[in-house]
Amino acid sequence: MLRKLHSVAGLVFGLTLALLAGTGAILSLDPTLERIQARSGDGVIAELAVKVATNHPQIERLERSTNGVFIVSFATAQGYDTVQVDPVTGADLGPWKSSATMRWIRDLHRSLLAGDIGKAVAGTNAAVMAVLGVTGLLLLAAVLGGWRRLGRRVRSTGANRWHAVIGRVALVGLTVSALTGVWMSLATFEIVSDGGPSTPTFPEAIAGATPAPVGTLAALQQVHVDDLRRLTWPVAGDPTDVFGLQTAEGSGYVDQATGQLLNWQSRSAAQKVWGWVYSLHTGQGLWWFGLLLGVSALAAPVLAGTGGWIWWKRRASRPRVAGAVPMAKAEIIILVGSEGGATWGFAATLARALADAGHKFHLGAMNDAGVIPNAKALILLTATYGDGDAPTSATRFLSRLEQMNKVPVAVLGFGDRGFPAYCGFAEIVSAQLVNAGWQALLPLTRIDRQSVRDFSFWGEALGQAIGIPLELHHRIATPKTLPLKLVERQTFGHEVGTPSAILRFEMNQGVKLPRFEAGDLLGVIAPGTDVPRFYSLASNRKDGFIEIAVRRMPDGLCSGYLHELVLGDEIHAFVRANPGFRAAKGRAPVIFVATGCGVGPVIGLLRHMQPERPSALYFGVRDPESDFLYQRETDAMLADGRLSRRVMAFSRCGDRARVQDRLRENAEELVHHIQTGGQVLICGNAIMARDVAEAFTAILAPTELAVAQLKAAGRYREDVY
């Protein structure tokens, strides 16, 4: 519901909000520009009044703007003129005129140049901006896994990442502008008070004695120049008229003969509230805050653009498959829970395969779930949003379970093992279905990082469960590839039967590398195949090259292709972000655990580690004489302090230990590092990762910490295959 409210409000009001924010950003410069021209005053108003009245005998008023500029208005033969004056000497500093351009922009911002109707529209947009701020904050907390993690790194990519990061930075400024804008709009239509008139009752019984020199008036001798708001002179030759005085504390009148303060009226609470609302919205009197508001306002057009792009991508990703029938007529129902759209592609592949097998199917969102009278099976494909929450198209599914008749069901979860809540929503759905008595066609299955191979295996199992041969040949749309030339290679592991290679590639001369970091993924498409194989990067853009460590797998088409490359050969590949596998910023300890070629991304991270940061590498290989990847480089890192400690485990020689054994042997040290804020990063195969998790569970048992708790805090991250 929150996500839908946020999206609809942003789409409907996006352009108007961008316009109002853009004009607001321009107006935010006004207080600063005025403040630059301001000069500090000294002394009391009586002294300054004498100086300016001497220079301008026909003076009408002296005022100090909220940003500290002193202005004098006086009569001339042509009418009235206004100049800025020096508050110390009273000398003229030049003409003072407001900019016609800024007046036009201010009218556009306040009313869209459409009178009261425009003011109402502007106020409505301010209210919408406030709603977007609140819903955006709630959604961001859900994405990051809770309120305590609001300051953590946003692990999305592309428009999603920019939308979240920029929204988080600008949130306070935009929300303050929105809420104060709503208040000012309500005050315009007299729904709330703007403090009312600040002019006290005009004194009636004035003696009309001879006016005294303005510099001798007692009331004006008690007001410092920086407290002045406005001083209005009496009409020349009229002894019954009075000075009008406004200060930061209130307003009243001054008898021009006696200097007595008359009918003084202090500012009311409502007027003070209005003053703060006005200052917080415009920056008037708070020039530095106005600049912050202006910078925040510049984010609104960007947020509107990225938000619209996210919505369009999500909408465009929902496929239409020929042969689909209404849910009430379908034999097999496929329902999808998707956030970014990728899950819909897998669902479409399944739907086409069922259509080819002659089955009537329905393909829809999990939110559309309802009574399914004729279905023989229900198949749920769902991603996970944030910390185990439902993705956009599945937010209402669990609340509709009671309305649905029970049929055999299969749940397939999509996610990334590097995230704390890997396939968390799929687990919740599966558990609730089991508790409600639904028959499971298959056990809950998880697909890591859109693995086409695992999806195909699941399809075979599903076909057996429903009694039809089912082959799922899914193709992931790949981005534009880059030509990469092999410039260096090192080979290992032939003696122990695990050929591995470190491959370093460069772009052609004059071509810039794309943006990437160590731990991101390189997608390689081997000749004769359509499906990319992903390898974790052992370098980042600053290194000036792309490097991967690749083990040759039995019958592995892509790994075999890479191992056959010779220097000078060219491959075509692309980079995909993997923000779930990063070392946290700061100086807290980092514990790396890797086996075989899994050490590649770890090396990429260590290359840029600060020497003063504690770091330990637990590295498992078969034989140090054969497959000790990066031995020389880690030796150098130990020497210069980028790596504090290296603990090796050799499974084919010595005590035949594995990394989990070395972890248990160093339990006390590991507990200390973790209790002082340390992070654990694991890279290698899934079996190793499972064994390492079990080892850490045992190591942390005497403490109040747990692996699940560390994962939720982003302090236990895995990049496994």
Span of 77-91, 381-395, 558-572 with lowest mean pLDDT: 381-395
Please, which pLDDT band fits residue 382 given cuts at 50, 70 and 90? very high
pLDDT value at 709 more than 90? no
Structure token digits, residue 587:
């100086």
| pLDDT at 142 (0 to 100) | 67
Please, which pLDDT band fits residue 105 given cuts at 50, 70 and 90? very high
Q: Cα angle vertex 64, ends 60, 69, to 5°?
A: 115
Cα of 630 vs its chain's centroid, Å? 36
Contact 522, 537 (CB under 8 A): yes
| pLDDT at 198 (0 to 100) | 67
Q: How far apart are the first and last CA of the chain?
A: 35
Structure token digits, residue 218:
């007692």
| pLDDT at 146 (0 to 100) | 66
Please, which pLDDT band fits residue 133 given cuts at 50, 70 and 90? confident
Residue 73 amino acid letter: S
Report how far residue 684's alpha carbon sits from residue 693's, in angstroms, rounded to the nearest whole number.
Answer: 13
| pLDDT at 5 (0 to 100) | 77
Span of 165-169, 567-571, 634-638 with lowest mean pLDDT: 165-169
Q: Mean pLDDT over residues 468-491, rounded?
A: 87
Q: 704 Cβ partners below 8 Å, 6+ apart?
A: none
pLDDT digits (tens, 9 = 90+) for 181-196: 999 999 888 898 887 7
Q: Average pLDDT of the chain? A: 89
Please, which pLDDT band fits residue 546 given cuts at 50, 70 and 90? very high
CA-to-CA separations, 34 to 230, 231, 416, 473, 681, in angstroms, rounded: 17, 20, 53, 66, 53
Q: What is the DSSP letter of 305?
A: H
Report how far residue 712's alpha carbon sits from residue 707's, in angstroms, rounded to the nearest whole number.
Answer: 9
pLDDT digits (tens, 9 = 90+) for 656-685: 999 999 999 999 999 999 999 999 999 988
**Domain 317-466 matches domain 482-576 at the CATH topology level:** no
CATH 2.40.30.10 is held by the domain 482-576: yes
Span of 105-114, 170-179, 356-365, 488-497 with lowest mean pLDDT: 488-497
pLDDT digits (tens, 9 = 90+) for 227-285: 999 999 999 888 889 999 999 899 999 999 999 999 999 988 888 999 999 999 999 99
Please, which pLDDT band fits residue 420 given cuts at 50, 70 and 90? low
Predicted model pTM: 0.61
SS3 285: coil
Span of 57-61, 66-70, 401-405, 486-490 with lowest mean pLDDT: 401-405
Q: What share of the chain is helix, strand, coil (3-state, %, to 5)?
A: 40, 20, 35
Span of 161-175, 385-399, 588-602 with lowest mean pLDDT: 385-399
Paired strand residues for 574? 523
Paired strand residues for 414? 447
Pairing verdict, β 570-576 and 590-595: unpaired
Could you give the angle at which helices 342-356 and 452-466 cross, rounded to 10 degrees?
40
Q: Cα angle vertex 663, ends 658, 666, to 5°?
A: 130
pLDDT digits (tens, 9 = 90+) for 286-305: 999 999 999 999 999 998 88
Domain segments of the chain: what residues? 2-32+102-195+275-311, 40-87+196-267, 317-466, 482-576, 590-720
| pLDDT at 448 (0 to 100) | 86
CA-to-CA separations, 552 to 111, 139, 629, 711, in angstroms, rounded: 67, 43, 14, 31
Place of tokens 């000398």: 91
Place of tokens 């316009």: 19
Q: What percent of the chain has pLDDT over 70?
A: 96
CA-to-CA separations, 82 to 4, 76, 104, 403, 554, in angstroms, rounded: 53, 10, 21, 75, 87
| pLDDT at 386 (0 to 100) | 65
CA-to-CA separations, 485 to 178, 279, 480, 504, 544, in angstroms, rounded: 53, 59, 16, 8, 13
Contact 599, 681 (CB under 8 A): no
Contact 451, 534 (CB under 8 A): no
Pairing verdict, β 533-536 and 615-621: unpaired
Q: Mean pLDDT over residues 446-463, rounded?
A: 90
Report how far residue 294's alpha carbon sits from residue 284's, in angstroms, rounded to the nearest whole number.
Answer: 12
Q: Which helix (H) or strand (E) holds 34?
A: helix 29-37
- Which CATH number is associated with domain 317-466? 3.40.50.360
Q: Mean pLDDT over residues 62-72, rounded?
A: 94
Instruction: Encode burial over 224-257: b for 16+ CB neighbours within 10 A, e otherwise.
Output: ebbebbebbbbeeeeeebbbbbbbeebbbbbbbb
Q: Mean pLDDT over residues 128-156, rounded?
A: 76
Of the candidates 657, 682, 533, the one whose C-alpha atom is nearest the C-alpha of residue 595 is: 682
pLDDT value at 556 more than 90? no
CATH topology of domain 590-720: Rossmann fold (3.40.50)
Q: Mean pLDDT over residues 408-437, rounded?
A: 88
Residue 513 amino acid letter: L
